[in-house]
Structure 1
Amino acid sequence: MNRSIITIQAFTIAVFSIISCQSVKHGKTNKHANVRVMTFNLWHGGDAVKLPRDTTIKYQLEAIRRANADVVGFQEQTTNQSNNQSRAKLLADSLGWDCHIIDGSRAVISKYDFRPVDTTTVSQAVLLQLPDGRYIVFGVMHLMYTPYEPYDIADRKLLSTEEAEASARETRLHQVQGMLDEVAAYSDYPTVLVGDFNEPSCLDWTEEAIRNRGDTLLPFAVNWPATALLIEKGFKDVYRDMYPDVKQRPGYTWTSVEGLWRTPEIHDRIDLIYVSKNRFKVIEAQVVGEPSPMTNVVIETWPSDHRAVVAELEIR
């Protein structure tokens, strides 16, 4: 091999190395920006499961790992049974992840760098940086749990669509609006909002869906306002985007503990992931929980009364 060829090869390698280093430095890659997001209600930090603390932590970590999540939004992440210690922080430390505590119930943990969004109060959302350098907004909601209108409909405390919608609007709509107001300044970024809505998806209670459900305790459709507002504001429900047939894929997340709260139980999908409609392609959406026909990712000992949800998203 002659010296001129060696010189050209050396120069080519050097240039490629510089470009590669700059790409890493600035977080640029040619790969699609995919992220796996999860919403997970821990049921009073896991203490309500009545298992030894280390056992509960083991299965909480297993759920996150088996879901292959990159970022998790928690609800009920503390309990007074553990002196209000943040279970989210403990799980994040165990995984080597970062943690942002929103309040006694909500927290975000992630394997990727993030910073809380700017707000005059405690941030309900973070700005998450993906490996390719792009950013997404990730927010966590835990809406008011009482009154729980599906039970009130079944118990004949609410007798019409109008009564159910009015109750839900008064109970939770201000919480959703508060989140939307907080992230409005970041509208240029793709946005993910997850949480325990304590209210079904409006897509699951249409006239057709209720008719197909055939439950005599649920005699009328309801356009649930929390999720209807998000759809109106340009978000989409990732699970229902992936599985539009409600009858074939109900995806119930409430509840994994039959007979604990009501008999007969009224099951619904209340643990939800919403994303900016035109900024994400939904690659996968799965329910995580105990061995059940509703569950895609099975954890043999499930440490919550809610099933969790994980979704893989491609940023457009």
Structure 2
Amino acid sequence: MGNTGSEKPVGKQIKVLQINAWHGATAVPGGFKGLLGIIEQIDPDIILLCETKHNNINVVTKLVDTLKILGKIYYGETSNGSASLMSKYPIESANACCASEVQGPMAKAYISIEGHTLAVYSAHLDYKHYECYLPRGYSGVSWKKIASPIDNADSILKANRLSERDESISAFVKDAKVEIEKGNLVLLGGDFNEPSHMDWQADTKDIRDHNGLVIHWDCSVMLSEMGMIDSYRQKFPDAVKYPGFTFPSANNAVPVDKLTWAPEADERDRIDFIYYYPNSAWSLSNVSIVGPEETIVRGKVKERDSEDSFIVPTGIWPTDHKANLATFMIERSMTSKK
């Protein structure tokens, strides 16, 4: 029988929340309540978390137990590092992967939705050698002011590669290619502690203290080259109107000096991401930034000055980052019986 035009595609909408929990939701007074609140507000299907461990306690276990009391069932997976994930769908198997010699592993889990297997990766990449500060006149190692801003992209990238971020993403690329060959859907999210090359091109070189530079940051370049799609930039390719800043976020529960590391610069960047690998089984429906609309610029709270789409928390914001929400439509597999 032909399509009458009134039939709706069979599938399921999946909401993916990526968030940095900032010291296991302990850095902000009432942080755990705030983290719980944003999960209740958004009701995500998959949650990619980082900075989940603090004092050897993983906040994911507490979240799963508390949400269960509230009538919401989630399954949790933690790694030996600070990256974890949660899912409304049972986690079929999980393991830590993609560790470098120094940097801790990503959390990886397999989840089945609509007859498809999702290989889900949650990452928290190396925070050291945060060299997007060099053009802004700050060290990415000591986080102190330097004599003058660095205006050479090659030297900045050389310094940036002293981190373990590129090694972690190289390991991810190798691992994810195996999943893609199996036909699995691949999802990656986390705090990369590195900007995207798509946010440091000619259109932004003379704003945001980029110091006239175009920089092809390694991690985003490697992911783009393997075919991974940056969900925010897919929906909002204009990095001037839609910067999508995730760090530093304003937070009225925390003194401003605890939120900024370069207080005399415009240090705003998009360093938290949700990536996915294209497949005919799913499509990206929508993306939003989650968190306060205000940012921090030169050590002061700055009102929203972009066209970004925000989901503003109704309660305490638990972190110094903003979060990402991506909504996907996953079509039902022909082999699925449900």
Question: Which TM-score applies when normalising by structure 1?
Answer: 0.81
Identity of aligned residues (%): 26
1:285 aligns with 2:281: no
Please, which runs of 5 or more residues in structure 1 have no aligned partner? 1-28
Please, which runs of 5 or more residues in structure 2 have no aligned partner? 1-7, 68-72, 100-104, 138-147, 251-255, 295-303, 332-338
Please name the residue that 1:296 is paired with: 310
CA distance 1:205–1:291, shift in 2 (3 Å): closer
Match of 1:163 among 148, 155, 164: 155
* Equivalent residue runs for 1:2-151 within 5 Å: 31-49=10-28, 51=29, 55-80=30-55, 84-95=56-67, 96-117=73-94, 124-130=107-113, 132-151=114-133
Please name the residue that 2:246 is paired with: 253
1:173 aligns with 2:166: yes
Q: Which structure has greater helix proportion? A: 1
* Cα distance in structure 1, aligned partners of 2:288 and 2:129: 28
Q: Quick one: which amino acid aligns to residue 267 of structure 1?
A: R
* Equivalent residue runs for 1:271-282 within 5 Å: 271-279=272-280, 280-282=282-284
* Cα distance in structure 2, aligned partners of 1:33 and 1:181: 29
Cα deviation digits, residues 25-81 of structure 1 (max 9, x gap): xxxx962233111111011011111x1xxx32221011122223101111100112x
Please name the residue that 1:22 is paired with: none
Cα deviation digits, residues 79-138 of structure 1 (max 9, x gap): 12xxx21101111222221111112411111110123356789773111111x2322111
CA distance 1:295–1:92, shift in 2 (3 Å): farther
The question of whether the paired residues in 2 share the 8 Å contact of 1:67 and 1:288 is answered with no
CA distance 1:123–1:250, shift in 2 (3 Å): closer
The question of whether the paired residues in 2 share the 8 Å contact of 1:124 and 1:179 is answered with no
CA distance 1:186–1:210, shift in 2 (3 Å): same
* Cα distance in structure 1, aligned partners of 2:107 and 2:159: 24
Higher mean C-alpha displacement, 121-130 vs 285-294: 121-130
Question: Which TM-score applies when normalising by structure 2?
Answer: 0.76
Q: Which structure has greater strand proportion? A: 2
Q: Quick one: which amino acid aligns to residue 205 of structure 2?
A: I
Please name the residue that 1:269 is paired with: 270
Who wins on radius of gyration, i.e. which is larger? Answer: 1
Please name the residue that 1:314 is paired with: 329
* Cα distance in structure 1, aligned partners of 2:328 and 2:193: 24
